Amino acid sequence: MNRVAVLLADGFEEIEALTVVDVLRRADLQVTTLALKHKDVKGAHGVQVQADALLDEATGDWDLLVLPGGQPGADTLRDDPRVAKLLHKQVQQGRWLAAICAAPIALGKQGLLKGKKATCYPGFEGQLTGAQLSQDAVVVDGKIVTSRGPATALPFALELVTLLRDKESSDRLRQGMLVHA
């Protein structure tokens, strides 16, 4: 079974994090939410979430690592040395990385977007160091997936299902959730 980690820092964008968790679990993927500091994490809009575990307690490898946006959550992910180490480990192992909204800035800071096509929330493009910027809702380049923001969370999550499972699984979810876009 594919293992997915969704990183949660205080100030994360609720729609982006929880949509991904929900859709990937509907696809029968093993999703674990990992908090950076404490299991009770507060979203950018005051929604309190209890993470499954703390980042420091996490063991093993992840087939996919997901970084939701939101402020100041994305800045916290960008600046945390443990997250940086995990991002590089994912790349070295040829595993998937996904970041939405402002969160691609964490990939940019680590130089992981050089020569890659990527997107982000408007205004954060300057922090996507070396990226070929796109305004597409969801961008896949190699093993890196980026997306623009809250309104693109569902297409982003469905693309992750396509990549980890297959298009048929994603299409079944799309139909079952009445997604027509």
Contacts of 46 (CB under 8 A, 6+ apart): none
Active site residues: 101
Q: Of 41, 58, 59, which Cα lies nearest the Cα of 50?
A: 41
Which helix (H) or strand (E) covers residue 157, if one does?
helix 153-164
CA distances to 25, 53, 55, 68, 178 from 111, in Å: 30, 28, 22, 18, 38
